[in-house]
Amino acid sequence: DPDALAVTMERCRSDALQAFGNGDVYVARLFPRARHVEVQILGDGTGAVSHLWERECSLQRERQKILEIAPAPFLDEGIRERLLSAATTLASAGRYLNAGTFEFLVDCDSGAFAFIEANVRLQVEHPVTEEVTGIDLVKAQLEIAAGATLAELGLTQRNIPDPRGFAIQSRVN
């Protein structure tokens, strides 16, 4: 309720100050029908960054991913291009050095998306990306850590293949 926003924000500030000693709060945009999409990237610390496409991990239980699918089956090409560009732009601006995953929420209705976080490591779900690209991410990560550039490894964006088919990883609880 937009009319109750000022009162609600003040209550949140008061609760946060009491609980944490800091009354700072922020408002995040609501995506009522959202998908969780992560973009796998490699960066060599020079500003050179390549994406290895994306994975969808919307099906989760208690913050654990249950199903990981590469590439994300619901994305249209326009949203996919904007999402991949956002991830590589963020990583390049920070001169990212490593394999990593940039995570986003994507609104199913509007196609808008919001950055969630960057995981500056390989995630347990990385094999689905390896399956659709044929690129060994563990090997690439170790070679980058040893000082190799993406160009030296043949992993510049123009050398990253389009995804071949789909790969799915499932967690059994």
Q: Which of 35, 55, 82, 121 is catalytic?
A: 121
Active site residue 121: yes
Q: What is the mean pLDDT of residues 108-133?
A: 93
| Burial of 87: CB neighbours in 10 Å, binned 0-12, 13-18, 19+ | buried
- 169 beta partners: 68
Q: Give the model's pLDDT for residue 30.
A: 87
- Is the pLDDT assigned to residue 62 strictly greater than 90? no
Joined together, the tokens standing for residue 102 give 């940039």
Order of strands, edge to edge, in the sheet holding 97-107?
113-119, 97-107, 34-44, 49-56, 67-70, 167-170
Q: Give the model's pLDDT for residue 29.
A: 83
Q: How confident is the model at residue 173 (pLDDT cuts 50, 70, 90)?
A: confident
